[in-house]
Structure 1
Amino acid sequence: MDQLLSPVDRDILACLQADPRISMAALAEKTNSSVSPCWRRVKRMEEVGVIDGYSLLLNR
Protein backbone atom coordinates (compact mmCIF):
# COMPACT_ATOMS: atom_id res chain seq x y z
CA MET A 1 0.00 0.00 0.00
CA ASP A 2 2.91 2.38 0.70
CA GLN A 3 3.80 2.50 -2.99
CA LEU A 4 0.29 3.83 -3.68
CA LEU A 5 0.70 6.76 -1.30
CA SER A 6 2.36 9.93 -2.51
CA PRO A 7 4.17 12.27 -0.15
CA VAL A 8 1.09 14.53 -0.23
CA ASP A 9 -1.13 11.56 0.71
CA ARG A 10 1.16 10.83 3.65
CA ASP A 11 1.02 14.47 4.74
CA ILE A 12 -2.78 14.37 4.56
CA LEU A 13 -2.88 11.21 6.66
CA ALA A 14 -0.54 12.70 9.26
CA CYS A 15 -2.75 15.80 9.54
CA LEU A 16 -5.91 13.70 9.82
CA GLN A 17 -4.34 11.55 12.52
CA ALA A 18 -3.41 14.66 14.48
CA ASP A 19 -6.82 16.31 13.99
CA PRO A 20 -9.56 14.16 12.39
CA ARG A 21 -11.99 17.11 12.52
CA ILE A 22 -9.76 19.46 10.51
CA SER A 23 -11.60 21.34 7.78
CA MET A 24 -10.76 20.53 4.19
CA ALA A 25 -9.56 24.12 3.70
CA ALA A 26 -7.17 23.87 6.66
CA LEU A 27 -6.02 20.42 5.53
CA ALA A 28 -5.30 21.76 2.05
CA GLU A 29 -3.38 24.70 3.50
CA LYS A 30 -1.29 22.48 5.79
CA THR A 31 -0.41 20.15 2.91
CA ASN A 32 0.30 22.94 0.41
CA SER A 33 -2.55 21.81 -1.80
CA SER A 34 -5.88 23.25 -2.86
CA VAL A 35 -9.23 22.13 -1.51
CA SER A 36 -10.55 20.16 -4.51
CA PRO A 37 -7.48 17.96 -5.06
CA CYS A 38 -7.14 17.47 -1.31
CA TRP A 39 -10.78 16.38 -1.05
CA ARG A 40 -10.31 13.97 -3.99
CA ARG A 41 -7.25 12.43 -2.35
CA VAL A 42 -9.11 11.89 0.93
CA LYS A 43 -12.09 10.34 -0.90
CA ARG A 44 -9.79 8.05 -2.91
CA MET A 45 -8.03 6.90 0.25
CA GLU A 46 -11.44 6.21 1.83
CA GLU A 47 -12.57 4.22 -1.23
CA VAL A 48 -9.46 2.01 -1.40
CA GLY A 49 -9.44 1.40 2.34
CA VAL A 50 -6.42 3.43 3.40
CA ILE A 51 -8.80 5.48 5.53
CA ASP A 52 -11.11 2.97 7.18
CA GLY A 53 -13.24 5.46 9.08
CA TYR A 54 -13.30 8.13 11.72
CA SER A 55 -14.06 7.69 15.39
CA LEU A 56 -14.87 9.66 18.48
CA LEU A 57 -13.37 8.80 21.85
CA LEU A 58 -15.24 9.91 24.94
CA ASN A 59 -13.38 10.82 28.09
CA ARG A 60 -15.42 9.50 31.01
Structure 2
Amino acid sequence: MQNFKKDSQKSFLTAIECPKCAKKSEHSTSRVNKKKMLICPFCNGLFQPPETHARPAVFSLKK
Protein backbone atom coordinates (compact mmCIF):
# COMPACT_ATOMS: atom_id res chain seq x y z
CA MET A 1 0.00 0.00 0.00
CA GLN A 2 2.91 2.34 0.67
CA ASN A 3 4.01 2.15 -2.99
CA PHE A 4 0.52 3.16 -4.16
CA LYS A 5 0.59 6.29 -2.00
CA LYS A 6 4.02 7.32 -3.27
CA ASP A 7 3.01 6.77 -6.91
CA SER A 8 -0.20 8.75 -6.48
CA GLN A 9 1.74 11.69 -5.02
CA LYS A 10 4.39 11.67 -7.74
CA SER A 11 2.57 14.27 -9.87
CA PHE A 12 2.65 16.74 -6.98
CA LEU A 13 6.43 16.64 -6.59
CA THR A 14 9.03 18.74 -8.40
CA ALA A 15 12.73 17.97 -8.74
CA ILE A 16 14.79 20.96 -7.56
CA GLU A 17 18.58 21.24 -7.52
CA CYS A 18 20.21 22.41 -4.30
CA PRO A 19 22.43 25.46 -4.93
CA LYS A 20 24.85 24.36 -2.20
CA CYS A 21 25.55 20.69 -3.05
CA ALA A 22 24.05 20.57 -6.61
CA LYS A 23 22.06 17.38 -5.92
CA LYS A 24 18.45 17.05 -7.07
CA SER A 25 15.66 16.24 -4.64
CA GLU A 26 11.87 16.21 -4.89
CA HIS A 27 9.82 18.88 -3.15
CA SER A 28 6.13 19.73 -3.08
CA THR A 29 5.09 21.69 -6.18
CA SER A 30 2.83 23.96 -4.13
CA ARG A 31 5.68 24.86 -1.74
CA VAL A 32 7.96 25.63 -4.68
CA ASN A 33 5.37 27.83 -6.39
CA LYS A 34 4.72 29.73 -3.14
CA LYS A 35 8.47 30.45 -2.78
CA LYS A 36 8.69 28.71 0.61
CA MET A 37 12.07 27.79 2.09
CA LEU A 38 13.19 24.29 1.14
CA ILE A 39 15.56 21.96 2.97
CA CYS A 40 18.05 19.84 1.06
CA PRO A 41 17.86 16.23 2.33
CA PHE A 42 21.52 15.66 1.43
CA CYS A 43 23.36 18.64 2.97
CA ASN A 44 20.54 20.03 5.21
CA GLY A 45 20.97 23.44 3.60
CA LEU A 46 18.08 25.93 3.47
CA PHE A 47 17.34 27.58 0.14
CA GLN A 48 14.57 29.24 -1.80
CA PRO A 49 13.39 27.75 -5.10
CA PRO A 50 14.37 29.35 -8.42
CA GLU A 51 12.30 32.15 -9.95
CA THR A 52 10.53 29.99 -12.54
CA HIS A 53 7.28 28.25 -11.64
CA ALA A 54 7.62 24.57 -10.89
CA ARG A 55 6.13 21.80 -12.95
CA PRO A 56 5.70 18.26 -11.68
CA ALA A 57 8.71 16.03 -12.18
CA VAL A 58 8.57 14.00 -15.38
CA PHE A 59 11.42 11.71 -14.42
CA SER A 60 12.17 9.57 -11.44
CA LEU A 61 15.21 10.20 -9.26
CA LYS A 62 15.60 6.44 -8.74
CA LYS A 63 17.82 4.87 -11.37
Task: Give TM-score scaled by structure 1 length.
Answer: 0.26
Q: Which has the higher contact order (CA 8 A, sep 6+)?
A: 2
More helix by share: 1
More strand by share: 2
